[in-house]
Amino acid sequence: MRPLTELETKTFFEKLAKYIGRNITHLIDRGDETYCFRLHRDRVYYVSESVMRKATSVGRDQLISLGICFGKFTKTGKFRMHVTCLEYIAQYAKHKVWIKPNGEMPFLYGNHVVKAHIGRVTEDTPEHQGVIVYSMTDVPLGFGVTARSTSDTRKMEPTAIVVFHQADIGEYLRQEDTLF
């Protein structure tokens, strides 16, 4: 467990900014407690400092996880966000997509979101923008990347993909072994 290096921080924040933009500052400067990002075995954890300090007494081999895992660095040095960070990024997300109940299950099985399933979309979402996918009852289901801007979407066919799938909460079941 160690703090992120500058390069790592840059890659990580760039990725994160795709979803929550400048709201990253809200994650770092919190009113209640100081939180920090810590790297442990390629994974980035977001954890309060008090918990982190206590966790230092756990050996590296024995420490499995602390706080919330945001994602991991791949072997090529890129950062890959995990669905586990959904709660935080949903909180600060700028662009959102709501999908209809009949689109929930297809998305939770790892499929992209097609136009027919879209219930609502944040206005002015540009192309290739990270979006959070919600159910119509405002339960965050995952996140993805828009295939087209909101205005372009209007002209598309119902079966066309609007949001590319990045992560969904179905992964808790599907990828339990590899995710953690």
- Size, binding site for another protein by CB under 8 A: 36
In whole angstroms, give the CA distance from residue 129 to residue 51: 33
User: Does 28 help bind another protein (rule: CB under 8 A)?
Assistant: no
In whole angstroms, give the CA distance from residue 151 to residue 149: 5
Residue whose CB is less far from another protein, 108 or 113: 108
To another protein, the closest distance from the beta carbon of 86 in angstroms equals: 9
Q: 27, 39, 113, 141: which one contacts another protein (CB under 8 A)?
A: 141
User: Does 135 help bind another protein (rule: CB under 8 A)?
Assistant: yes
Instruction: State residue 110 phi and psi, 5-degree precision.
Output: 100, 15
- Single out the residue of 42, 44, 46 nearest to residue 75, CA to CA: 42
Do residues 136 and 53 touch, judged by C-beta distance below 8 A?
A: no
To another protein, the closest distance from the beta carbon of 113 in angstroms equals: 14
To another protein, the closest distance from the beta carbon of 61 in angstroms equals: 8
User: Does 111 help bind another protein (rule: CB under 8 A)?
Assistant: no
- Site string (68-107) toward another protein, x via CB under 8 A: xx--------------x--x----------------xx--
Residue 127's alpha-carbon distances to 37, 51, 87, 131, 132, in angstroms, are 29, 39, 23, 10, 14
In whole angstroms, give the CA distance from residue 177 to residue 175: 5
Residue with tokens 């828009």: 146
**Contact footprint for another protein (CB under 8 A):** 47-48, 50-51, 54-55, 57-59, 61-69, 84, 87, 104-105, 108, 135, 137, 139-141, 169-170, 172-173, 176-177, 179-180
